[in-house]
Amino acid sequence: MAIAASYLGNVTLAGQSIVINTCSLTYQIPGGLIGAVSNRVGNLLGQSRARRANISANVGLMLGGLAGALGLAFYVGTASWWGKLYSNDPNVVSTVALIMPICALFQFSDAMSGMSGGILRSLGRQAVGAWINLPSYYVVGLPLGLYLTYGAPGMGVIGLWIGITVAATLTSFGQSTICLAANYAKEVDRCMAQVNKSRDIAANSTEDNDGTVC
């Protein structure tokens, strides 16, 4: 996005940089929740506690939605003056005010996308998340954003944010659907099978090295 925004002028790039920095700041809240929920669900699966893992995953999705909603409210509420904390240039401030409401929608989708992605990682289904993210961002979001920005609509930097927001929404919907539909009893069985397989590989490796099993 930074490269694409750089062709829109210095003022737009400055406003874009402020919003991106703000996104990094506000993502610390959902980011912390994502790590906690991912570890919690993974540990419960390892303990063969399918029901608790299911509950924790569902609570995690709700917390992701709550964190996203708080982020949305923050961006909408501070849009008119947030840029003044970074710059005295009224053009930069107005650019930040223009981007923030669209970024607010992205915050909600991004929080849900991150949370559902974290749950998929705890289920050992990173590949599923990758296959959802790849087309969402690089087949839909990026081309759409570039078209809205530089194509016939000529929406400027707003087009870039619409593109990435659509991508995050598609990702969060796809990943959340899989998380909600998952059979956690079967996920426990799959987890145990992977653990046993890893143990067998480690045991065989030890035998190959010194002929004994530790």
pLDDT digits (tens, 9 = 90+) for 58-116: 999 999 999 999 999 999 999 999 999 999 999 999 999 999 999 999 999 999 999 99
Q: Where are the domains of the chain?
A: 2-200
Sign for the CA dihedral angle at 25, 102, 116, 132 comes to: negative
Closest Cα partner for 176 from 105, 108, 120, 136?
120
- Its pTM stands at 0.87
- pLDDT tens per residue, range 2-56: 777 778 889 999 999 999 999 999 999 999 999 999 999 999 998 999 999 999 9
Q: Which residue has the tokens 């919907």?
A: 173
145 Cβ contact list (under 8 Å, min separation 6): 1, 4, 159, 160, 161, 162, 163, 164
CB 18 within 8 A of CB 96: yes
